[in-house]
Structure 1
Amino acid sequence: MAITSANQLELLQTAEAVAREKMIDPGLVVEAMEESLARAAKSRYGSEMDIRVSIDRKTGRATFTRVRTVVEDEELENYQAEMTVEQAKQYLDDPKVGDQFVEEVPPVEMGRIAAQSAKQVILQKVREAERDRQFEEFKDRVGTIINGVVKREEYGNVIVDVGRGEAILRRNEKIGREAYRNGDRIRCYIKDVRRETRGPQIFLSRTAPEFMAELFKMEVPEIYDGIIEIKAVARDPGSRAKIAVISYDGSIDPVGACVGMRGSRVQAVVNELQGEKIDIIPWNEDVPTFLVNALQPAEVSKVVLDEDAERIEVVVPDDQLSLAIGRRGQNVRLASQLTNLDIDIMTEAEESERRQKEFEERTRLFMDTLDLDEFFAQLLVSEGFTNLEEVAYVELDELLVIDGVDEDTANELQARARDVLEEQARAALERARELGVQDSLVEFEGLTPQMIVALAEDGIKSLEDFATCADWELAGGWTTVEGERVKDDGLLEPFEVSLEEAQNLVMTARLQLGWVDLADLEADEAEAEEDAGDESAEEAGA
């Protein structure tokens, strides 16, 4: 087949037809044709030649050209596609390195093999363009709901026709025991779109919490308009879910708006989620209040929040325990996901027993160390004193408010407490010396003798050892392992050293040892504050 004898407009007509069919840019098809014709020409003229083909976008005329580039003498390797400055002088005026000499060559006769090769090149280019178009179309739709038609099922995974491509709904992203047949219509959440060698992969989900949020956005106009905001969602797909909402208009009840007239709005979502029961909860900035709402329908008597540990203790009446925990722990698990806190639930009886035990332990402490009778020790505990340090160093007026305590008695109490603390410190210091603790650690400000003993028993016996510690090793913390929060015990945690205090202690040790330069540290802090200020300004602008 000779290009010159063919209808020159046929190339453009073919390109437009393919582009319309595949819904891609006709220019990409023409570029693929140019590349395929250039390959065919190279097989005729020689693979070492730099043959290029240009198709006129208006007339369809294909122009074949040979390009030769001017290079340095020592860089000349390909005599068919390169030439030296001296050689170029017979073709160009004042040639320089990098100049190109372009000459037109006769069109080629395309045999059967060449034509087949050209066809493969065009198909490959069209396929790549189609994949790019699919990726560009769907990558911006991540986080939205899409409707599709079930095409087939493979090993439990559902392949869904989403119009201009196929998507996959993995079996672990299906709700419960959902089963689909070919041709069924399905609504899913686009969870991720990835560019892979076999083409863009679109991953769908029906179990994602975001899917429920998007369904509510479709059913509740106030959410779509931004009057009501979904703050958090927790799901046990196909069984039960909790969703927290807040209204920015005082005249609109967020829970009522989501429920709808006679439950019509929430029922539409429930039907889509295969009967999943949904608790709609009002959001509250106050974490304990929000948690009380999240544990509905159970009643809560008392909430104790530990912000550092991100844990919360909830006390419920004895008859409400099973309701608060829920079937197989479902209610408390969803409440934990919704608040992002670990929740410990106990009955009033269990909490009373624990408080009684703590009261007895503190009473015994004061009786043994301060040589007090049981009644007087109980008075101290009842007034909120928990340890010897509080008794020894509290303002005298706080002791005088206790019934039967005058100024002399208060002074005597504090003197006894200080004597005991000094004796404990002396004994701890002797123990630390026995363990081989160096003076650099003993003299380090911020550590008590008892803390030093705890460090030494773990092998930390010098300031250098201490400076290598991580803050969480000292203060403790929490680690998430396989989705569950696991407690990391800190060496100084029994002494109520916070994470921030541990950070300051370690950094002070490193400064004293010269491991960290104070000027660099101040510069880093200033830069961090500046970045935080910029982020705040951006959020305010947004």
Structure 2
Amino acid sequence: METTALYRTELLQVAEAVAREKSIERDEVLDAMEQAISKAGRAKYGHERDIRAEIDRKTGEVRLRRYTEVVEEVENELTQTTLKDARVRQADIEIGEFFFDELPPIDLGRIAAQTAKQVIVQKVRDAERARQFREYKDRVGEVINGVVKRNEFGNVTVDLGKAEAIMRRDETLPRENFRNGDRVRAYIYDVREEPRGPQIFVSRSHPQFMAKLFSQEVPEIYDGVIEIKAVARDPGSRAKISVLSEDASIDPVGACVGLRGSRVQAIVTELQGEKIDIIPWSPDVATFVVNALAPAEVSKVVLDEDSKRIEVVVPDDQLSLAIGRRGQNVRLASILTGWDIDIMTDEEESRRRQEEIKQRSQNFMDALDVDDVISHLLVAEGFESVEQVGYVPVDELAAIEGFDEDIAEELRNRARTYLEAHEKELEESRQSLGVQDDLMSVEGLSSEQVVHLGEQGIKTLDDLADLAGDELVEMLGEELALSEDKANEIIMAARAHWFADEDAAAAGSDESEASE
């Protein structure tokens, strides 16, 4: 009797010890023990039987029972019985309920004990993994400290104390080599539940790792007085970070640099000497791009908001600095700002401008049948297309030096005559290509674009609707260019009739069902 009581006490003590060691609940350990004893019981009394073990949470007493389910029709005689037979034993039992028979405690043999141990170990491991996932799934975005446990072909396993994290080779910094026992600081960017257990992924090359380091080193960022707006990194080489101060009296760049560079230098050291450009953020895109290209000086910028591109003109001696080694400076500036950046020198820009002026002048000379003096005057006044000349108010044209109302009226008439003839040519081309009329009704597409698409086999609304945005942009090319956002809008407009047809079909079906 004393031995049995001692066994029960030891059972609870073992459960408590394992729970403390693995940082899991005692009940989870006891559940694992119950499953292990149940498995051993089935090995003794029959694997087909429903054998369940229960451990009293207060006394540690183990009860082993064989359960039988009450069913209407017996499919398995070892685990089921009919209601008639069950009521012989228990008068008030119902279908779906269970009755049980007490079984004598089992003496675990060597094989059964080993099996039970394996079950307990597995269940405790599962419980430990579940705890790890619960603990770390809400810690994505944190910087953690750990110790290198293994380094296998550059993939580093980091011991976090209560869990292990994985840092893949591409998430480490170039030329960074870890040895077992090295302390490491990294950023948790993902926690996933996988068949082999929860996987915690950490990184030292992630842009947000640098942002978190700044938050730790700069109290103003931690307190929210300074906000990090964007980060772009070429890990281990160079990075750019844009900052904004909510307090006009605080210089965000100066605060991040620190006294004699102390704050930023601590981060540079942590990142293996990665050079960091700290950029003041600006709501004005042009200003922000100019700041992002530092230390290069910028002469002029030209924005194209539709395609989210910006042309940046720099002095000849600043070109290599603006582009950076292997394009690094302009690439990071583009990532930081979210704009595509094209860089050219003053000389290249001047040459291109001259070419554009020459081309526009020639277009006006051909379309309006005027000499180069008038065409140059139109270009100089900012006119870019025949459409602008054809539909501008007469008084604006007449205000050009050397023009009067008669010349202005004549130019407008010639422009409109040219546009009507051009439109007629496009309409004839459209019809000869077999492009359907409904394609002309799609908002956002010009007649020239419709004809150009017809030449490439896009002749119906469904043909256009089947395209992806990038395909439409590619088809139209540079001369008839569209931004990808605009292209997606046009394609969605072309698909509108699909949804209208589906709604009409659904409405017809509802009416048919109602009439029946």
In the superposition, the TM-score normalised over structure 1's length comes to 0.86
Equivalent position to 1:295, from 288, 293, 296: 293
Matched, 1:125 2:123: yes
Question: What is the CA-CA distance between 1:147 and the residue it aligns to?
Answer: 1.2
**Counterpart of 2:476 in 1: which secondary structure?**
coil
Supply the distance in 2 between the matched residues of 1:204 and 1:471 (Cα, whole angstroms): 35
Supply the distance in 2 between the matched residues of 1:10 and 1:513 (Cα, whole angstroms): 70
Which residue of structure 1 aligns with residue 67 of structure 2? Answer: 67
Which residue of structure 2 aligns with residue 243 of structure 1? Answer: 241
Supply the distance in 1 between the matched residues of 2:236 and 2:32 (Cα, whole angstroms): 49
**Counterpart of 2:328 in 1: which secondary structure?**
helix
Counterpart amino acid of residue 162 in structure 1: L
The runs of 5 or more residues in structure 2 that have no matched partner are 507-516
1:469/1:506 contact within 8 Å kept: no
Matches within 5 A, 1:329-340: 329-340=327-338
Identity, in percent, stands at 59
Which residue of structure 2 aligns with residue 112 of structure 1? Answer: 110
Equivalent position to 2:257, from 256, 259, 275: 259
**Counterpart of 1:262 in 2: which secondary structure?**
helix
Supply the distance in 1 between the matched residues of 2:324 and 2:477 (Cα, whole angstroms): 36
Matches within 5 A, 1:70-109: 70-73=70-73, 76-109=74-107
Counterpart amino acid of residue 118 in structure 2: Q
Question: What is the CA-CA distance between 1:504 and the residue it aligns to?
Answer: 5.6
**Counterpart of 1:119 in 2: which secondary structure?**
helix
Which residue of structure 2 aligns with residue 9 of structure 1? Answer: 9
1:54/1:64 contact within 8 Å kept: yes
Supply the distance in 1 between the matched residues of 2:22 and 2:306 (Cα, whole angstroms): 57
Distance 1:128 1:292, change over 3 A: same
Question: What is the CA-CA distance between 1:455 and the residue it aligns to?
Answer: 2.7
Instruction: Output one character per residue of 1:243-286: Cα deviation in whole Å (capped at 9) or x when no partner.
Output: 10111112211111111111111111111111111111111111
Distance 1:444 1:148, change over 3 A: closer
Counterpart amino acid of residue 34 in structure 2: E
Matches within 5 A, 1:473-512: 473-474=471-472, 476=473, 488-490=474-476, 494=480, 500=486, 503=489, 507=493, 511=497
Matches within 5 A, 1:60-459: 60-73=60-73, 76-438=74-436, 449-459=447-457
Instruction: Output one character per residue of 1:48-89: Cα deviation in whole Å (capped at 9) or x when no partner.
Output: 22221111111111112222111112xx12222211111111
Which residue of structure 2 aligns with residue 42 of structure 1? Answer: 42
Which residue of structure 2 aligns with residue 479 of structure 1? Answer: none
Distance 1:420 1:294, change over 3 A: same
Counterpart amino acid of residue 25 in structure 1: E
Superposition CA RMSD, Å:
2.7
**Counterpart of 2:480 in 1: which secondary structure?**
helix
Supply the distance in 2 between the matched residues of 1:497 and 1:212 (Cα, whole angstroms): 33
Distance 1:509 1:407, change over 3 A: farther
Question: What is the CA-CA distance between 1:516 and the residue it aligns to?
Answer: 6.4
**Counterpart of 2:412 in 1: which secondary structure?**
helix
Question: What is the CA-CA distance between 1:445 and the residue it aligns to?
Answer: 8.6
Question: What is the CA-CA distance between 1:102 and the residue it aligns to?
Answer: 2.6
**Counterpart of 1:245 in 2: which secondary structure?**
strand
Question: What is the CA-CA distance between 1:299 and the residue it aligns to?
Answer: 0.7
Supply the distance in 1 between the matched residues of 2:222 and 2:503 (Cα, whole angstroms): 52
Q: Which moved more, 1:19-28 or 1:257-266?
A: 19-28
Counterpart amino acid of residue 359 in structure 2: E
Question: What is the CA-CA distance between 1:448 and the residue it aligns to?
Answer: 5.5
**Counterpart of 1:140 in 2: which secondary structure?**
helix
Question: What is the CA-CA distance between 1:218 and the residue it aligns to?
Answer: 0.7
Supply the distance in 2 between the matched residues of 1:92 and 1:256 (Cα, whole angstroms): 83
Supply the distance in 1 between the matched residues of 2:499 and 2:164 (Cα, whole angstroms): 62
Distance 1:261 1:462, change over 3 A: closer
Distance 1:337 1:372, change over 3 A: same
Which residue of structure 1 aligns with residue 511 of structure 2? Answer: none
The runs of 5 or more residues in structure 1 that have no matched partner are 477-487, 521-542
Instruction: Output one character per residue of 1:301-322: Cα deviation in whole Å (capped at 9) or x when no partner.
Output: 1111222212111011111111
Matches within 5 A, 1:495-534: 500=486, 503=489, 507=493, 511=497, 515=501
Counterpart amino acid of residue 70 in structure 1: V
1:466/1:506 contact within 8 Å kept: no
Which residue of structure 1 aligns with residue 513 of structure 2? Answer: none
**Counterpart of 1:175 in 2: which secondary structure?**
coil
Question: What is the CA-CA distance between 1:151 and the residue it aligns to?
Answer: 2.5
Supply the distance in 1 between the matched residues of 2:460 and 2:133 (Cα, whole angstroms): 58
Supply the distance in 2 between the matched residues of 1:506 and 1:226 (Cα, whole angstroms): 41
Distance 1:411 1:345, change over 3 A: same
Counterpart amino acid of residue 176 in structure 1: P
Supply the distance in 2 between the matched residues of 1:276 and 1:398 (Cα, whole angstroms): 57
Q: Which moved more, 1:353-362 or 1:103-112?
A: 103-112
Question: What is the CA-CA distance between 1:228 and the residue it aligns to?
Answer: 0.8
Alignment length (residue pairs): 505
Question: What is the CA-CA distance between 1:14 and the residue it aligns to?
Answer: 1.2
Supply the distance in 1 between the matched residues of 2:387 and 2:210 (Cα, whole angstroms): 53
Counterpart amino acid of residue 298 in structure 1: A
